[in-house]
Amino acid sequence: MKHSRLLLPYTVWMTVFTLIPLGVVVFYAFTDSLTGAFTLANLSHLETYLPIFLRSIFLSLASSVICLLVGYPVAYTIAQTKPSRQRLLSMLLMLPMCMSFLLRTLAWVAMLEDTGILNRFISALGLKPLPLIRSNGAVILGMVYNYLPYMITPLYTVLMKIDRRLVEAAQDLGCNSRQVFTRVILPLSVPGIVSGVTMVFVPAVSTFYISQKLGSPGTTMIGDVIESQFKTAYNPNLGAALSLVMMVMIFLCIGFMNRFSDQQEEVMTP
């Protein structure tokens, strides 16, 4: 009895903010935009958008991998410093997060524009301006910049929890510093890598503002298409159908990642 009463707030929250919106999305996805009758037509448009889906996955996977490559050394370095320093460093890391996502992206626009800060600098050096903006690279850069903290935080948490004595045990058994890393630290940080990649990939694959600002029509991502169905194309039913597909995709993705880290999970609590 006590138990179910404690569950009440959670149940209400889930109903109002998850189940009902989900129901609405499913309803729209399976109804016709004009008549409101049941239809599968919205979902049959999917293959038109397949290239965009694939591009979204590619761009966000690339961002995740870059975030991992950049974030791991950063997280590792922070985890190695003195505890007092650690708090300062992880706060600095979170600092850009206090600024609006839109502002952060616009800041990059100002940097990369054809007449932006970087290109003016390049011109001042007497060189030809570079086409920095409106490319896959610019979109990936925007995503890496925006989502990097989501990678570093779980990595840092896991790395910080690794027992110093395990490192000493490895050295004791003959490991040089490279072997300590590959044999002990890297395997023990797999759960952090998995949750970091998930936390970057999921918001990246569904993001809709970055590619509009930093990309070109050739870099449109699925999030942008969904947004436009609601805001400019006035076809919420198609938008809902695309959202539904994306949601299923993300769920499969999370499920896959979790299975991967479950094997490691029990191992993390010695």
Partner 1 sequence: MGKELIRLTNLTMEFDGETVLDGINLYINDHEFLTLLGPSGCGKTTTLRIIGGFLTPTAGEVRFDGQIINDLPPYRRKINTVFQRYALFPHLDVYDNIAFGLRIAKLDEVEIDRRVQEMLDIVSLRGFESRKVTQLSGGQQQRVAIARALVNRPKVLLLDEPLGALDLRLRKDMQNELKRIQQALGITFIYVTHDQEEALSMSDTIVVMDKGRIQQIGRPEDIYNEPKNAFVADFIGESNILDGVMLEDYKVEFFGRKFQCLDKGFSPREPVDVVIRPEDIDFVPPAEAHLTGTVTAITFKGMQYDIIVDFKGFKWLIQTTDHQPIGKRVGIRLNPEDIHVMKKSEYSGLFGDYSSYSAEYDEIGEEDGDEA
Residue found under tokens 């570093």: 152
Number of residues that bind partner 1 (CB under 8 A): 23
> At its nearest, how many Å lie between partner 1 and the CB of residue 256?
21
> At its nearest, how many Å lie between partner 1 and the CB of residue 65?
23
Nearer Cβ to partner 1, position 154 or 203? Answer: 154
Nearer Cβ to partner 1, position 83 or 270? Answer: 270
> At its nearest, how many Å lie between partner 1 and the CB of residue 79?
17
Tell me how crowded residue 43 is: count the other CB atoms within 10 A of its CB: 14
> At its nearest, how many Å lie between partner 1 and the CB of residue 196?
18
Q: Is 169 in the site for partner 1 (CB under 8 A)?
A: yes
Residues 230-269 as x/- pattern, contact with partner 1 by CB under 8 A: ----------------------------------x-xxxx
Residues 2-31 as x/- pattern, contact with partner 1 by CB under 8 A: ------------------------------
Helix (H, G, I), strand (E, B) or coil at 34: coil
Structure tokens at 18: 């998850």
Report residue 167: phi and psi, to 5°: -65, -45
Q: Is 166 in the site for partner 1 (CB under 8 A)?
A: yes
**Pairwise CA distance, residues 15 & 34, whole Å:** 28
Nearer Cβ to partner 1, position 217 or 270? Answer: 270
Encoded amino acid at 172, one letter: D
Helix (H, G, I), strand (E, B) or coil at 31: strand
What residues numbered 173-202 form the site for partner 1, per CB under 8 A? 173-176, 179, 183-184, 187-188
Q: Is 80 in the site for partner 1 (CB under 8 A)?
A: no
Helix (H, G, I), strand (E, B) or coil at 112: helix
> At its nearest, how many Å lie between partner 1 and the CB of residue 182?
11
Q: Are 49 and 226 in contact (CB under 8 A)?
A: no
Which residues, 6+ apart, have CB-to-CB distance to 122 below 8 Å? 128, 129, 130
What residues numbered 144-163 form the site for partner 1, per CB under 8 A? 163
Q: Are 79 and 86 in contact (CB under 8 A)?
A: yes
**Pairwise CA distance, residues 158 & 188, whole Å:** 8
Q: Are 42 and 29 in contact (CB under 8 A)?
A: yes
| Interacting residues toward partner 1 by CB under 8 A | 163, 165-166, 168-176, 179, 183-184, 187-188, 264, 266-270
